[in-house]
Structure 1
Amino acid sequence: MDNSVLFQKIVAFTTAVHQITNEITKDVKSAELTSVQYKIMEYIAVSQPVTLSEISDCMHMSMPNTSREMRKLSEKGLCDKVTDPLDRRKQGITLSPSGQAMMNEAFLTVAARFAERISQANEAERREIAQALDLLQRKVFY
């Protein structure tokens, strides 16, 4: 297959992923969080521990803006800083127990919406979806 055709397919796929992500995560964030803060919390939840620079890169935010948002999340008691035992100069960021509880609740809603989206898929199709996602993860999103 021509790489340009494959590229167009990946662009269409990633666009669809963003659209579906917006649909299934709509209205799941706590009223006390901004949309940016929720996205940061979501990233931390699936990648913890993370560094401030990793959050900045992933969210396409400047370091000062990332620091400010992280300070706000810490003040709300939703995130904790942990010192790397191998290099005490490095700090990782994790969810606090209350932050983890908040994200667990949000993910329950997202999981239910996802289950609804794939409710028409039979078991064989679900296995195919899982295999396709594994392949994408190994070959494209590594």
Structure 2
Amino acid sequence: MTYRLLTVSKLGAAGLVLGLTLAASLSGCFTERRNEGAQLYATHCANCHGEQGQGLKRLIPPVAASSYVAEHRTELPCLIRQGMRGEVVVNGVAYNQVMPGHDDLTDSQITNLLNFVQQNWGNKNQPYTIREASELLGHCNGSDGQ
């Protein structure tokens, strides 16, 4: 009986070591993408919307604690891809500046960028899956399948 318990415990320890080794190697695969949303925001959005998503007075709307981010979930992937023209109301304030599109970003990058905005600066919105973002991008012929 003792032998059997030792064997099971050795297998359990071996399994644990194997699991930890596998987890460590897999996490290395995703290291580059870990902060991708924040990096993409800094590169593509912060110049206009601000480093903390605060916007620019009455010229550029905020994405921080933004009613628009919460209320226009299904439109946001296409807005990132194609940009926008015309008036938009955010937190009760009207803005009317051109926002450039980012057709250089993949569906995956748009997903990560939006998830960064969805979960930061007072936004507590449900994250997107890549599948959801790609499907929404399909509505504006903006999905690249990546």
Same fold (TM over 0.5): no
Task: From the CA coordinates, give the structure whose radius of gyration is larger.
Answer: 2
Which TM-score band applies after superposition, normalised by the shorter structure? 0.3 to 0.5
Q: Taking structure 1 as the reference length, what is the TM-score of the superposition?
A: 0.33
